[in-house]
Amino acid sequence: MRFGSLRSRSSIHGHYLKRKLSLMGIGSGEGSSLRNSPSFQYKSAGAGWSHLDEDHCICGKPNANLSLWRFTFNRAQSQLHYQYVNEDDHDDQQGLDFPGGRVTFTSEMRFISESAGKRVSCYRVLDDDGDPIMKSSVEVQVTKEIATKMYSDMVTLQMMDTMLYEAQRQGRISFYVTTMGEEATNIASAAALSSDDIVLPQYREPGVVLWRGFTMQDFANQCFGNKSDYGKGRQMPIHYGSNKHNYFTVSSPISTQLPQAVGVAYSLKMDKRDACVVTFFGDGGSSEGDCHAGLNFAAVMEAPMIFICRNNGWAIGTPIQEQFRSDGIVVKGQAYGIRSIRVDGNDALAVYSAIRQAREMAITEQRPILVEVLTYRVGHHSTSDDSTKYRASNEIEYWKKERSPLNRFRKWVERNGWWNDTADSELRNSVKKLLLQAIQAAEKTEKPPLAELFTDVYDEPPENLKEQEKLLRETTGKHPQDYPSEVPI
Ligand SMILES: Cc1ncc(C[n+]2csc(CCOP(=O)(O)OP(=O)(O)O)c2C)c(N)n1
Ligand SMILES: [Mg+2]
């Protein structure tokens, strides 16, 4: 397991502070000769640098006689061939002391390639048949207790998805989202964390709160929006949240959780807590501005946190080939100064060990870590979607059968002598019973009273909310047939 490394931020910061008043210097004061070179004349003639005033310096040591130039751009200049720019340019072994470290010069105009050529490798521990890869750089230690709980929770999550999905199809709940195909990403990451770590989810990570003890009844109450739902029926199904389990409530607008997570992580840092923040997002979420703001903010603030990107191939009907041209998400870490790793999201042991290591680094080194897990969304995006309209059925089947995270992990657990067919059917029978009971009970439980729509935001409701409640009551009174009869007024 290798995380991409980066320079220490504190030295960069210190360097920047020392130099910020003196502005930037080129080499050791050779600025004027550079300004006379054809290359610089090209720039100063308007192609790239514009003259600002006489009291600043960009070259060498601070020098009041030199001038500050700002890079500008126009279309005609951009059409100049690069050869003109470099004509007569001499090799310059000197460097530029720039905030963040010394930058060497080159007379060769080389654009950094848009791709590294070779894609970033994906860390895994188990091969496709559930056998440990002997060459693995880390010995992953998982106890029987943790391993069997991991497997049991993966099965439970899959069974819960099947039954609640059906409940939606039968019209008993309004909406549902499955996590099928991503069970290892959910459960193994949760297993690697401590319950003090604070989770800010996207929405396809219910396995994390399941691992922490959210019961089948808790899940069902939320999906049915009854009065036992912690969110008091005010959110769509699958928008789980639990103070008890340090699990922030899911919110629909994607990636808003990322900058918020940095703020939460910074509060842990200020309190010197032995915990980190973990936030999840999808490949689609990675295109949101909030994702980039969050990554940059976390790097600069040295926030103790883990960004887990579930790259599952699709954002509703948008495939990743249309989402970004980079090698996924992992490569973005380095651009922001964040240590990062790519992991096989269908290998529970790889996810477990990478997240454990990431957690250790996030807390002891007080820094963010980015983990990209490669996985696949086996189900439709949600019950409002039919993914066979935009992707091939054999693609879905391949991931469902050949790359199933449950099958692979079960083989490993079974080979250790920790699991067998009897244990498997006992587990499935008891989960089925629990789920049926939970769904029936949730359905029978009263809905939250109408008044709850207006509580829990303000201590004292403002006038406009009072006005809205009054209007709602008048309207439901006048047109009772248009409002759900089961909501207590
Ligand atoms: C800001 C915002 N834009 C668009 C949407 C609509 N939307 C909901 S889920 C989704 C796709 C997200 O895909 P991804 O992040 O890859 O997560 P996945 O569903 O694959 O788990 C979109 C576009 C939204 N909820 N919020
Ligand atoms: Mg996705």
The pLDDT, as a whole number, for residue 136 is 67
Give the Å distances, CA to CA, from 247 to 158, 160, 241, 442. Answer: 20, 19, 6, 21
The pLDDT, as a whole number, for residue 137 is 64
The pLDDT, as a whole number, for residue 94 is 83
Which one is catalytic: 252, 267, 384, 430? 252
Which is the closest atom of ligand 1 to the Cα of 314? 20
Among 254, 279, 290, 382, residue to substitute to test ligand 1 (most atoms within 8 Å of Cβ)? 254
Give the Å distances, CA to CA, from 477 to 60, 452, 473, 480, 481. Answer: 78, 17, 6, 6, 9
H or E element in which residue 26 lies: strand 25-26
H or E element in which residue 295 lies: helix 289-301
- Ligand 1: residues within 6 Å at CB? 204, 252-254, 282-285, 288, 310, 312, 314-316, 377, 381
Residue 283 Cα, ligand 2 centroid: separation in angstroms? 5
Q: Which residue has the tokens 């059925």?
A: 393
Residue nearest to atom 25 of ligand 1 (CA): 253
Helix (H, G, I), strand (E, B) or coil at 465: helix
User: What residue ranges do the domains of the chain occupy?
Assistant: 144-444, 450-482
Angle at which helix 405-415 crosses helix 183-192, to 10 degrees, equals: 50
Which one is catalytic: 166, 360, 446, 474? 166
To the query of whether residue 51 is one of the catalytic residues in this protein, the response is no
Query: What token pair was written down for 197?
Result: 């770590």
Which ligand has the nearest atom to the CA of 253? Answer: 1
Which is the closest atom of ligand 1 to the Cα of 252? 25
The pLDDT, as a whole number, for residue 1 is 75
Q: Answer whether CATH 3.40.50.970 is correct for domain 144-444.
A: yes
To the query of whether residue 166 is one of the catalytic residues in this protein, the response is yes
Q: What is the pTM of this model?
A: 0.83
Which is the closest atom of ligand 1 to the Cα of 316? 11
Quote the DSSP letter at residue 205.
-
What sign does the CA torsion over 161, 166, 168, 169 have?
A: positive
What are the beta bridge partners of residue 49?
71
Residue 385 Cα, ligand 2 centroid: separation in angstroms? 14
| Rounded average pLDDT per 10-residue block, the chain, 489 residues | 56 35 30 32 31 31 32 37 42 82 94 93 96 78 96 98 98 98 98 98 98 98 98 97 98 97 98 98 98 98 99 98 97 98 98 98 98 98 98 98 98 97 98 98 96 94 96 95 89
To the query of whether residue 381 is one of the catalytic residues in this protein, the response is yes
The pLDDT, as a whole number, for residue 92 is 57
Residue 284 Cα, ligand 1 centroid: separation in angstroms? 6
What are the beta bridge partners of residue 70?
50
Q: Which of 298, 276, 295 has the alpha carbon at shortest distance from 285?
A: 295
Residue 280 Cα, ligand 1 centroid: separation in angstroms? 12
Which is the closest atom of ligand 1 to the Cα of 311? 16
Residue 284 Cα, ligand 2 centroid: separation in angstroms? 5
